[in-house]
Amino acid sequence: MSFPLYAPAEEHDMLRETVRALADEKIAPRAAQADEAEEFPWDVYKALVAADLHAIHVPEQYGGAGGDALAAVIVIEEVARACASSSLIPAVNKLGTVPIMLSASEELKQQYLSAVARGDAMFSYALSEPEAGSDAAGMKTRAVRDGDHYVLNGTKMWITNAGVSEYYTVMAVTDPSAGGARGISAFVVEKSDEGVSFGPKERKLGIKASPTRQVILEDVRIPESRMIGAPGTGFKTALATLDHTRVTIAAQALGIAQGALDYAVGYVKERKQFGKAIADFQGVQFMLADMAMKLEAARQLTYHAAAKSELAMKGQPQKDLTFLSSAAKCAASDAAMEITVDAVQLLGGYGYTKDFPVERMMRDAKITQIYEGTNQIQRMVMARQLLK
Ligand code: CAA
Ligand code: FAD
């Protein structure tokens, strides 16, 4: 029996107000231009760092704000309500550093978590490759031991915030004979390591202000102390991380959907046809009701998964976290896609133009059904949990 672990505390409500105020003042006015220019919004990054909202999940002992999983969800949700690309700053900082929080040595935690907490560096997560996306264990990137170092070669693909991040959690094959998952280890690679380079920015449908690039590793020699956890545990660390961070992609989807719903509600009260506000038509009202209903259902599931994530992070394993984080990501992203399409519909022809934000929200929503595992993979993960 599950109890409502997801009820936000007063501090969470206050946090939401703070983030919303910052997003309204400093992020929303920049969102259309950042999308159009396809440029990483460094001013938004600086504003988030100044407010200590760029990586709220980092524990206090490493100089972080020590926010719980729900706090991270709220930050990402409220930033995404204004600008989905910008919400990848706190989301990917969390994705890149959770492997360290879960599995790294104390030395790596001190060094890397504190750099992220200070806002000196961002962290990305490099699992996918050109020929290994859904089947992540099919990766080819190799890390070969050489004395007390490892030498990495390979190409990681689709890496969010590649180039703007200083640090990368990279999964690579250390023992091909172990076969797939069991032969993979995780490492910290630095942008400044010799042999690290980046591919051109992908030209994307949405989240255009967040760079997505290949991370190319050519004879990158790093000390063995940069391995996260023991040899052969990298794939498990990568999947255990996603148990926590699929919740943050759900939060991003909720934020995008909330932004679109809020805009549509305001618009239908103003727009007049047939001599009255289009909000007076029941056909419009029913669409709004369905949008809000889907959003709230996804939000409850996401907060529930966040509460489980928090307990697991505190050392209390939650056997339903894998199911719930996949369910939250899948439900929230499907809801965001439907809600943003409906928001464009409610604005009619105006919704289809760049003069209004809903077309950007619709384009941005699509990625939430694809990354951190496509929604087919989420359904596979959920089914495996049900059938095991
Ligand atoms: N936590 C810890 N360990 C886990 C685990 C979990 N949640 N799930 C599985 N494992 C373990 C298994 O027990 C197994 O270990 P043993 O061999 O010791 O038994 C090992 O990991 C391999 O598990 P599977 O056999 O289930 O692995 P698989 O090869 O069948 O693949 C998968 C599983 C679910 C398909 C996985 O590959 C997957 O999630 N694919 C999608 C990839 C993905 O999500 N990529 C995200 C990239 S990041 C991103 O996109 C960034 C962004 O959004 C910004
Ligand atoms: P494929 O695996 O080739 O899938 C193609 C289609 O086949 C999909 O519809 C998929 O659902 C379906 N399919 C595959 N296998 C099955 C199956 N068993 N059952 C049913 N259907 C299946 N990765 C990172 O590591 N780090 C990042 O920071 C990162 N950021 C990203 C940012 C963007 C903008 C994008 C587009 C991707 C990013 N990714 C990142 C990669 C992302 O996680 C992968 O794109 C995703 O996991 C899908 O892999 P793929 O693109 O190779 O598609």
Ligand 2 proximity of 110 Cβ (cutoff 6 Å): no
User: 0.95 exceeded by the pTM?
Assistant: yes
- CATH number of the domain that 196 lies in? 2.40.110.10
* Residues 102 and 128 both lie in one domain: no
Ligand 1 proximity of 353 Cβ (cutoff 6 Å): no
Model pLDDT, residue 9: 82
* Residues 195 and 90 both lie in one domain: no
In the predicted model, is pLDDT for residue 1 greater than 60?
Answer: no
Among the three residues 121, 146, 172, which one is the final residue of a domain in this structure? 121
Q: Is the ipTM of this complex over 0.90?
A: yes
Ligand 2 proximity of 250 Cβ (cutoff 6 Å): no
* Residues 89 and 182 both lie in one domain: no
Model pLDDT, residue 6: 61
Residue among 246, 294, 241, 310 nearest 9 (CA): 310
| Protein residue whose Cα sits closest to atom 4 of ligand 1 | 236
């599931």: which residue's tokens? 301
How many whole angstroms separate alpha carbon 316 and alpha carbon 305?
14
* Residues 202 and 229 both lie in one domain: yes
Model pLDDT, residue 388: 93
Kindly indicate the confidence band of residue 271, based on its pLDDT and cuts at 50, 70 and 90.
very high
Among the three residues 204, 233, 262, which one is the final residue of a domain in this structure? 233
Is residue 332 within 8 Å of 294, Cβ to Cβ? no
* Residues 239 and 380 both lie in one domain: yes
* Residues 248 and 350 both lie in one domain: yes
Is residue 160 within 8 Å of 124, Cβ to Cβ? yes
Structural tokens at position 386: 């049900």
| Protein residue whose Cα sits closest to atom 5 of ligand 1 | 239
In the predicted model, is pLDDT for residue 102 greater than 80?
Answer: yes
- The answer to whether residue 3 is domain-embedded is no
Percentages of the chain per state (helix, strand, coil), in multiples of 5: 60, 15, 25
Kindly indicate the confidence band of residue 179, based on its pLDDT and cuts at 50, 70 and 90.
confident
Taking the centre of ligand 2 as the mean of its atom positions, its distance from the CA of residue 136, in whole angstroms, is 9
How many whole angstroms separate alpha carbon 163 and alpha carbon 202?
12
How many whole angstroms separate alpha carbon 18 and alpha carbon 23?
9
- In Å, how far from its chain's centre is CA 377? 16
> What range does the domain containing 177 cover?
124-233
Alpha helices in 111-225 (DSSP H): 114-118
Structural tokens at position 201: 């920015």
How many whole angstroms separate alpha carbon 293 and alpha carbon 296?
5
Ligand 1 proximity of 183 Cβ (cutoff 6 Å): no
In the predicted model, is pLDDT for residue 363 greater than 50?
Answer: yes
In the predicted model, is pLDDT for residue 384 greater than 60?
Answer: yes
- CATH number of the domain that 311 lies in? 1.20.140.10
| Dihedral over Cα of 226, 232, 236, 239: its sign | positive
The per-residue pLDDT of the chain, averaged, comes to 97
Domain count, the chain: 3
Is residue 226 within 8 Å of 108, Cβ to Cβ? yes
| Protein residue whose Cα sits closest to atom 22 of ligand 1 | 181
SS (H, E, C) 66-88: CCCHHHHHHHHHHHHHHCHHHHH
Taking the centre of ligand 2 as the mean of its atom positions, its distance from the CA of residue 342, in whole angstroms, is 26
- The answer to whether residue 2 is domain-embedded is no
Q: What is the mean pLDDT of residues 271-275?
A: 98
Pocket test for ligand 1, best of 93, 215, 236, 386 (most atoms within 8 A of CB): 236
* Residues 69 and 114 both lie in one domain: yes
Q: What is the mean pLDDT of residues 330-337?
A: 98
191-246: pLDDT as tens digits: 999 999 999 999 999 999 999 999 999 999 999 999 999 999 999 999 999 999 99
Ligand 2 proximity of 252 Cβ (cutoff 6 Å): no
Taking the centre of ligand 2 as the mean of its atom positions, its distance from the CA of residue 349, in whole angstroms, is 32
* Residues 374 and 251 both lie in one domain: yes
Contacts of 246 (CB under 8 A, 6+ apart): 305, 325, 326, 328, 329, 372, 373, 378
Pocket test for ligand 1, best of 134, 202, 239 (most atoms within 8 A of CB): 239
* Residues 106 and 131 both lie in one domain: no
* Residues 245 and 354 both lie in one domain: yes
In the predicted model, is pLDDT for residue 7 greater than 70?
Answer: no
State how far the alpha carbon of 152 is from the alpha carbons of 97, 212, 214, 225, in Å.
Answer: 20, 21, 15, 14
* Residues 264 and 190 both lie in one domain: no
Active-site residue numbers? 372
In the predicted model, is pLDDT for residue 247 greater than 50?
Answer: yes
* Residues 180 and 207 both lie in one domain: yes
In the predicted model, is pLDDT for residue 2 greater than 60?
Answer: no
Q: What is the mean pLDDT of residues 66-80?
A: 98
- Phi/psi at 375 (5° precision): -70, -20
Q: What is the mean pLDDT of residues 314-339?
A: 98
Model pLDDT, residue 5: 58
Structural tokens at position 212: 């997505």
